[in-house]
Amino acid sequence: MATVKKFGGTVGAEVQGVGLDQLLSDESLPAWCLKVLEENGALVFRGLYIDDEIQRAFSQKLNEADGAPSGEPPPIFRVTLDPTMSASAEYLKGAFFWHIDGASDDIPSKATLLSAHVLSESGGETEFASCYAAYDDLSDEEKERYGLLRVVHSFERSQLLLKPDASDEERAAWRERRPDKVHPLVWRHRTGHCSLVLGVSALRVEGMDLEEGQALLAELLERSTRPEHVYRHEWGLGDLVIWDNRGVLHRAAPYDPSSGRDMHRTSLVGDEPIQ
Ligand SMILES: [Fe+2]
């Protein structure tokens, strides 16, 4: 029987008692997983050794349990810094900074599933921080003030941090790949919960002096990611982690790009614009 053991902070729990065979055969498991994901922000299944076919099928079951129409299971995206394994390898170092996946999309994915296939000898831990807890920690006066702010999110910014001397052509290509997007700083979810929308993509606050806005965004990120708000997952081979991409920031600790580290990602369909 599946049980949840909280890690004790504001985010993260381990799911125990779920084996590979149950992922597709236990009809009540997908809805149960979505419920405990909502409550815990990130779920760890240690040593599950899920393969691509089962990961895709289980992701589709989660989508369907969330009300998405049945259809093709989502594709596997390889998260690796090895350019021979992924055409996106050069962009993925952006994951070393706190972010939500698809922050410059209209509707970010609801949740992300990541399974460990090859690990680096050192580094590569993934950290999670709750953006719900970050909002809850604000004073009433801050909640009121920040509730009015809108933030420009930029893929270009995360890439510039990695490559400050990028040419004009490279910068234009980044902007074309993912154009800037404006989101409210406070996301009021359908559930009634609020979260802060922060991370490396948060470039500036609309209507605020650039430096003043960046200082505010940096301060809020620092407060949101203090150690007491963070769960750091030290990967074991075969681990599967699912996180709520709408309300959790994540980042990877740096690792050797030639280590062969290979993680397989699927994304659940988002249905809630940031508003
Ligand atoms: Fe990510």
Q: Do domains 3-86+105-125+234-267 and 130-224 have the same CATH topology?
A: yes
| Tens of pLDDT, residues 117-166 | 999 999 999 999 999 999 999 999 999 999 999 999 988 888 888 888 99
* CA distances (Å), origin 62, targets 33, 35, 112: 8, 11, 11
CA torsion, ordered 58, 78, 261, 241, to nearest 10 deg: -30
Q: What is the whole-number distance in angstroms between the Cα of residue 243 and the centre of ligand 1?
A: 10
Quick one: CATH architecture of 3-86+105-125+234-267? 4-Layer Sandwich (3.60)
Average pLDDT, the chain: 94
Q: Quick one: pLDDT at residue 221?
A: 97
Q: What is the whole-number distance in angstroms between the Cα of residue 185 and the centre of ligand 1?
A: 19
Q: What is the whole-number distance in angstroms between the Cα of residue 1 and the centre of ligand 1?
A: 30
* CA distances (Å), origin 222, targets 166, 225, 227, 245, 271: 27, 5, 10, 19, 29
Quick one: CATH architecture of 130-224? 4-Layer Sandwich (3.60)
Of 9 and 116, the one with more pLDDT: 116
Q: In the chain, what are the domain boundaries? A: 3-86+105-125+234-267, 130-224
Tell me the average pLDDT across 235-242. 98
- This prediction's pTM: 0.94
Angle (nearest 5°) at CA 240 between 239 and 244: 145
Positive or negative, the CA dihedral 15, 16, 17, 22 is: positive
Tell me the average pLDDT across 166-194. 92
pLDDT band for position 255 (cuts 50, 70, 90): very high
Q: What is the whole-number distance in angstroms between the Cα of residue 141 and the centre of ligand 1?
A: 31
